[in-house]
Every structure is written in C-alpha cells, then in structure tokens.
Amino acid sequence: MRIRSLQIAVPTLALAAALLAAPVRAQDEHRELGAHVHGHGTLNIAIEDKRISMELEVPGMDVVGFEHAASTDAQKAAVDKAEALLQKPLGLFVLPAGAGCSVASTNVAIEAEHHHDGDDDHDHKAKGADAGDHDHDDKDHDHGHEGHNQFHATYTFDCAKPSALTAITFDYFKHFAGAQGLTVNVVAAKGQSQYEVSRDRPALDLGGIM
C-alpha cells in the first residue's frame, strides 16, 4: 500500500544521497512518535541504472525475539540463524525473474540503536497490540537504551533488465515471526516514494516509478 508519493525528478547522481537521507527522515519520525515500536522496520531502496542498493534496519526483537546482546546458547544460535538468513537477500526480498538480478554484495551487522536526547521516558510498544499489555519502562527489563540492538543490513544487486523490476514480494515476513511491517523508501530516476508493507500485505508494486 502506498502511503505517500513524492513525484520529484531526482538526478541519477543524487540517488545515493537521497538514499542516505531516508534513514534521517525515519529517525525524525521515530522521535516524533516517542516510542520504540516492536514489529516494524525500515527498508531503503535506491535504483540507479542496473544497480539496486538496499538498506534494512529492524529491531532485534523483530528478528530474534529479544533486543539485548545474546547471552545464552539458544540466543546465540538464534542470532546465527538470523544472520545466515539476512545474508541471502533474494530469499527475503523476491524480485521478478525477468529482471535478471543477482547479489553483488551483502553486509549484515548488529548495532546498538541510536539514543536521542529527550527519549529517556519513552515506552516500548508492540505494533497493533493493546498498549496496556505491552508498554514498559526500561527499568522493568533491567537494561538501558544501549541494550536496544537492531539488525542493519546493506545489499547491492546487479540487474540485467531493471525495467522489469515492477514488484517485490516480501518473504521476509515468513522467516521472522516478530516482524509485522516495513516502511519502504524507494528512490529511482523518476522520483521517490514511500510505501508500507506488512505481514498481511507482503507485496510491493513498483510499476509506477520504473
């Protein structure tokens, strides 16, 4: 479902800069919400000629079911499994076969979520759930903001026929039970658009910007 479309002509050389700006906008929106939202992440996509770049940022809770550093053998195994899945992006983000896309590079890391001034009193909220059941203070879980880990993955793909890249199917939701939705920012030669995909609506139509 497209929630916003910005029909702005973006010069080809500015695509990378626009992609880098998307996480900044997402962080601003995060501060405005004033809440750490479980189940929801961000995917930035830049399409430039035959090269597609993606950047995925999702809370650890979405991917492995916890957001602190892995300490038990079971938690470490869950992290290893998640990293192995994230290293295979075409199994998570299914591109049309006609586009002839192959993975050029992958990079997966676990990072501490950035802490912003004024966020000390924020609650955690599970997306789509009753706030009374899921709001909690950091002290209830005996960890501070520095314990909020997120998965950060970057990918590049080379596509023989990028004009055929008219849709993406998100099998991502099949692999990660805690993931409920993604905000998808797409930058292409015709402009930039923002979409929402979810477990219930895991397909993205890109026909209008390709």
Confidence bin at 130 (pLDDT 50/70/90): very low
pLDDT 10s digits, 131-167: 444 444 443 333 334 457 899 999 999 999 999 999 9
Statement: residue 126 has pLDDT above 50: no
For strands 35-38 and 123-126, give the pairing.
parallel
What's the farthest any 2 CA atoms get from each other in the chain?
A: 52
Q: Answer whether 44's CB lies under 8 Å from 55's CB.
A: yes
Choice between 154 and 28, residue whose per-residue pLDDT is larger: 154
Contacts of 123 (CB under 8 A, 6+ apart): 35, 36, 131, 135, 136, 137
Give the C-alpha separation, 50 to 210, whole Å. 12
Q: Which of 119-123, 129-133, 146-150, 184-188 has the highest mean pLDDT?
A: 184-188
Count other Cβ atoms within 10 Å, centred on residue 79: 19
Statement: residue 108 has pLDDT above 90: yes
pLDDT number for residue 190: 84
- Long-range CB pairs of 76-80, under 8 A, 24+ apart, other chains included: 79/110
Is the pTM higher than 0.85? The answer reads no
CB burial string 157-166: b at 16+ within 10 A, e below: bebeebebbb
pLDDT number for residue 37: 65
